Amino acid sequence: LLMLATLRLSEKFILLLILSAFITLCFGAFFFLPDNSKHKRFDFGLEDVLIPHIESEKEARHRTQPGLPDIKRRNPQNRVSHLCNTETSAKRATYLCQPGNPVYMMKHAWDSYRQYGWGHNELKPIAKKGHSTNIFGNSQMGATIVDALDTLYIMGLHDEFKDGQEWIEQNLDFSVNAEVSVFEVNIRFIGGLLAAYYLSGQEVFKVKAVQLAEKLLPAFNTPTGIPWAMVNLKSGVGRNWGWASAGSSILAEFGTLHMEFVHLTYQTGNPAYYQKVMHIRKLLAKMDRPNGLYPNYLNPRTGRWGQHHTSVGGLGDSFYEYLLKAWLMSDKTDSEARKTYDDAIEAIERHLIRKSNGGLTFIGEWKNGHLERKMGHLTCFAGGMFALGADGSPDDKAGHYLQLGAEIAHTCHESYDRTVLKLGPEAFKFDSGLEAVAVRQNEKYYILRPEVIETYWYMWRFTHDPKYRQWGWEAVQAIDKYCRVSGGFSGVKDVYSSNPTYDDVQQSFFLAETLKYLYLLFSSDELLPLENWVFNTEAHPLPVLHLGNITLPGSETQR
């Protein structure tokens, strides 16, 4: 009997021990499990805040062309002022109604331009007046308005979008005596107008894009068909930059016309646009390439390469991007473009991509047989390009290229993280013990560039690794802290200085690219899905052409 009582006492003790352990475990979990609130600072909670409202069926019927994706467009009421009213939920108030949010930054940039630089190409936010550079000649063509249109639309800023549309309808005139950059006007104006047309369905944007394209066509009147860098919109006279090697045209400029010109042919039925860019591709295919690399300079008179300088950054960058995107935009039917891209990337990996002593993967520049261990901010777009091109790469190398994209993203994040302002320099070295750090004073500036954030966005879309949103949040905080001024946003001259001076320029690409990529980084994948949209090099989304039985004029040999 005593033995039975002892056993019952032991059972009670064991039960008490189990209960105590359970309570301790729960208590410990409450204190030691990760605090999700810490992650909200870079997650934003935007997937249920910034996703667009869908327009009614009636509003969506503007598009009758076959083969284009369904376009999700925003309710005009979905504006910042509406989101931040007294009825706004605590979650929205926390993340939307404060500085540092991409929508609010866009509002500040646009409103400042509207107040101080309206109609000018860009804005001087310190001086609070208009600004222009030689890429737009001496004209006032409202570059910021055209470049920002699709970002305004995607963000749901429809009143602002309408203001821009009205200016374009009433004031945008291309019959001006102005010498402009063919490349810059193509990617910013034609790309921006086409994207605005595809998103909104407003015919005026297509009409203006075609009018401008006609003004650019005389630039192709060269002995080789390689266009001049600049053309006078009134006279049609073209020429090249005086500093370019021996009067050469530049690879990234004449190689970054394909997306927009194919869409122009698709919209108008005029084969001239398509034929111009296909002629460039055929000419390049016949040329010898040193080590399989494309030099950055080509003489439009002789058809010969200029100085043997190859870069995936400035002067070369978007040529490679457009080879890949020509394939994607064709619904993956333009196999010639894909093969040219794959061959180019193979040569780049063999000759330009290296690992530093500290383990950072970088893309150097080839100059006359020598690899310069320097990488530019512009080159940082390549991480996103490698990720975008991973699917469809030869020899089952998709995983390899996705990893390469991740390594470039990491290197470019380091270039930001190793500065005082947490903003990346224009160029950074990998020698003499210095890695991912700018050496020269004229390479320490940040001019609101988008390329690093662009790569974060592509890497996020393909991996959903939260570090890319974390890195994007670091960047958006730094931009808002150090580049925001009362009259807009300005670039800074030294990212290593705790007291930076401003360059006093609000670049149009800040509204077109940097803020758009930040917004998309914290939005749902359902917003502009990559299977339906391809972004031009100025971040203007153009739809994939699911051509089916439709054939582009002159393209029979390509299908």
User: For 519-535, what is each residue's pLDDT tens digit?
Assistant: 999 999 999 999 999 99
Contact indicator for 148, 155 with CB cutoff of 8 Å:
no
d(CA 484, CA 109): 9
CA 73-74-78 angle, 5° bins: 175
pLDDT (tens digit, 9 = 90+) per residue, 420-448?
Answer: 999 999 999 999 889 999 999 999 999 99
Residues of each annotated binding site for Ca(2+): 537
pLDDT tens-place string over residues 177-220: 999 999 999 999 999 999 999 999 999 999 999 999 999 999 99
- Selected catalytic residue, list 184, 253, 321, 365: 184
Catalytic residue among 435, 451, 480, 513: 451
Q: How far apart are CA 117 and CA 488, in angstroms?
A: 11
pLDDT, mean of residues 490-503? 97
Mean pLDDT of the chain: 87
List, in order, residues 6 or more apart from 106 with CB less than 8 Å away.
Answer: 148, 151, 152, 155, 157, 511, 515, 519
Radius of gyration of the chain (CA): 26
Q: How many CA atoms lie within 13 A of 154 on its CB side?
A: 30
At 19, is the pLDDT very low, low, confident or very high (cuts 50, 70, 90)?
low
Strand partners, 376: 427
- pLDDT for the residue 145: 98
Taking residues 499-515, what's their average pLDDT? Answer: 98
At 368 the pLDDT is 85
CATH class of the 90-543 domain in this structure: mainly alpha
Q: Give per-residue pLDDT as tens, 286-316.
A: 999 999 999 999 999 999 999 999 999 999 9
pLDDT digits (tens, 9 = 90+) for 404-425: 999 999 999 999 999 999 999 9
What CA–CA distances, in Å, run from 256 to 280, 325, 484?
11, 10, 31
- Tell me how far the alpha carbon of residue 501 is from its chain's centroid: 26
Q: Is 47 a catalytic residue?
A: no
Q: Is pLDDT at 92 greater than 60 in this prediction?
A: no
Q: In the predicted model, what is the mean pLDDT of residues 332-338?
A: 97
pTM of the full structure: 0.87
Query: Above 80 in pLDDT, residue 44?
Result: no
Q: What is the pLDDT of residue 546?
A: 85
499 falls in which pLDDT band (50, 70, 90)?
very high
What are the binding residues? 537
Query: How far apart, in whole angstroms, are the C-alpha atoms of residue 148 and residue 113?
Result: 11
Report the alpha-carbon angle 439-415-412, nearest 5: 130
Residue-wise burial string across 244-269, b where 16 or more C-beta atoms lie within 10 A, e elsewhere: bbebbbbbbbbbbbbbbbbbbbbbbe
For residues 130-137, average pLDDT: 94
CB 307 within 8 A of CB 245: yes
State mean pLDDT over 314-336: 98
pLDDT of residue 432: 81
Q: What is the percent of the chain where pLDDT is above 90? A: 78
- Residues whose CB falls within 8 Å of the CB of residue 399, separated by 6 or more in sequence, listed in order: 390
Q: What is the mean pLDDT of residues 133-138?
A: 91
Q: Is the predicted pLDDT of residue 7 greater than 80, yes or no?
A: no
Pick the catalytic residue from 317, 336, 365, 407.
Answer: 317
> In the annotation, is 346 catalytic?
no
More confident residue, 112 or 73: 112
pLDDT for 331 equals 97
Helix 191-200 vs helix 158-171: crossing angle, to nearest 10: 120
The residue from 426, 454, 494, 513 that is catalytic is: 426
- Decide if pLDDT at 323 tops 90: yes
Handedness of CA 405, 40, 416, 109 (dihedral sign): positive
Q: Which helix (H) or strand (E) holds 354?
A: strand 353-355
Helices then strands (H, E): number in the chain? 21, 19
Query: Cα-flanking dihedrals φ and ψ of residue 78, to 5°?
Result: -80, 70
User: Do the bridges between strand 353-355 and strand 309-310 make them parallel or antiparallel, or are there none, so unpaired?
Assistant: unpaired
Report the range of poorest mean pLDDT among 10-14, 138-142, 384-388, 439-443.
Answer: 10-14
Separation of first and last alpha carbons in the chain: 94
Q: What confidence score (pLDDT) does residue 310 get? A: 98
**Residues 6+ away with beta carbon under 8 Å from 324:** 337, 338, 341, 385, 388, 389
Residue 324 has pLDDT above 90, yes or no: yes
Active site residue 426: yes
Residues near 265 by Cβ (< 8 Å), separated by ≥ 6? 271, 272, 273, 274, 552, 553
User: In this structure, what token pair is assigned to residue 268?
Assistant: 């108008």
110-127 average pLDDT score: 98
Place of tokens 């950054």: 313
pLDDT the model gives residue 139: 87
Q: What is the pLDDT of residue 89?
A: 52
Lowest-pLDDT choice from 13-22, 250-259, 403-412, 517-526: 13-22
Please tell me what DSSP assigns to residue 464: -
The token pair at 380 is: 């940082």
How far, in Å, CA of 52 to CA of 497, rounded?
39
Longest dimension (CA), the chain: 115
- Spatial distance between the Cα atoms of 208 and 111, rounded to a whole number of angstroms: 24
- Greater pLDDT, 554 or 478: 478
Residue 106: which of 59, 50, 55 has the closest Cα? 50
Say if residue 230's pLDDT is above 60: yes
Q: Give yes or no: 443 in active site.
A: no
What band does 77 get if pLDDT is binned at 50, 70 and 90? very low
- Looking up tokens 């005389």, which residue turns up? 218
Of 48-57, 351-360, 459-468, where does mean pLDDT reach its minimum? 48-57
CA-closest candidate to residue 554, choices 195, 208, 299, 278 = 278
